[in-house]
Amino acid sequence: MKLKVMHPGRILMVTTLVALVAGCGIVAPIVPGEDRTDTKTTDAGGATSASVDVNLGAGRLTLAGGSSGLATTKFTYNVKSWKPTVDYTVSNARGSLVIAQPNAPVAVGKSVRNDWDVRLSNSIPIDLKINTGAGKSTLTLGGMTLVSATISGGAGELQADLSGDWKKSAEIDVNGGVGKISVQLPSSVGARVKVSTGLGSVTVNGLTKSGDTWVNDQYGKSPITLDVVIKAGVGEVNLDVK
């Protein structure tokens, strides 16, 4: 099982107008309205495996397991044009779920809200892709049946909890731009972490240095191993064993 994670971004606190000087004129900032909340459970529809794509332009993403179907989503937002779309198809027992923000933000202020809560099945094998532009992502990946995952973003904060139940070994790549990356590693299965940073600090707790990597106590003993590679741009990286 291969799991690739790329760091998500930080929400931009911008209240001034954004000028687009390319012959297109001036685009006004986003004007928020009343809070709206949409919830939906997507059944697997006979699928025995699925791909799940999550595309969030700006906001907060919370993602974990625990859905009674393939996915359960709850969106709270106050920009009408940002109403997320949830599209699902099944072909040859293979599901394809795409969750997307239809309009990328032009200017985002403190009063803008765009919070996504995504719960996925623990039992259905899933190929997961997450793309975020600006904001905070809190991901709890242990316990799900992930075949692969790719998580990419711009600037912001990523909290990735990799503790919990892992049924198979996984390769985990964390690629961050600007911001903070916090990764919680399991104590019950082996974990090896390699970190490279541009401008930033690395704080490690509960791991032992082995060459150019950090390992936990179960590394080399457990039949399951998480191989984690973190490439950070600007910001801090925190590693902890849970």
Provide the whole-model pTM. 0.84
Task: Render pLDDT for 141-167 as a digit per residue (tens, 0 to 9).
Answer: 988 888 888 878 778 898 999 998 888
Residue 65 resides in a domain: yes
- Compute the C-alpha angle 12/14/17, nearest 5°: 135
Residue 132 resides in a domain: yes
Residue 125 resides in a domain: yes
Average pLDDT over residues 28-32: 69
Q: Contact, 129 vs 149, CB < 8 A?
A: yes
Q: How remote is the C-alpha of 117 from its chain's centroid?
A: 11
Range of the domain at 149: 2-11+35-241
Number of domains in the chain: 1
Q: Contact, 142 vs 165, CB < 8 A?
A: yes
Residue 21 resides in a domain: no
Count of alpha carbons within 13 Å of 157, Cβ hemisphere only? 11
pLDDT band at 14 (very low <50, low <70, confident <90, very high): very low
Residue 57 resides in a domain: yes
Higher pLDDT, 205 or 9: 205
Higher pLDDT, 175 or 99: 99
The count of other CB atoms within 10 Å of the CB of residue 111 is 11
Higher pLDDT, 203 or 178: 203
Cα–Cα distance between 3 and 102 in angstroms, integer? 26
Q: Which two tokens stand for residue 50?
A: 């699925």
Residue 30 resides in a domain: no
pLDDT band at 21 (very low <50, low <70, confident <90, very high): very low
Count of alpha carbons within 13 Å of 46, Cβ hemisphere only? 5
Q: Contact, 47 vs 215, CB < 8 A?
A: no
Residue 29 resides in a domain: no
Residue 17 resides in a domain: no
Q: Which two tokens stand for residue 196?
A: 């490279």
Task: Render pLDDT for 184-203 as a digit per residue (tens, 0 to 9).
Answer: 999 999 999 999 988 889 99
Cα–Cα distance between 177 and 190 in angstroms, integer? 27
Q: Which two tokens stand for residue 73?
A: 């989503």
Task: Render pLDDT for 59-111 as a digit per residue (tens, 0 to 9).
Answer: 999 999 999 999 999 999 999 989 999 999 999 999 999 999 987 665 566 78
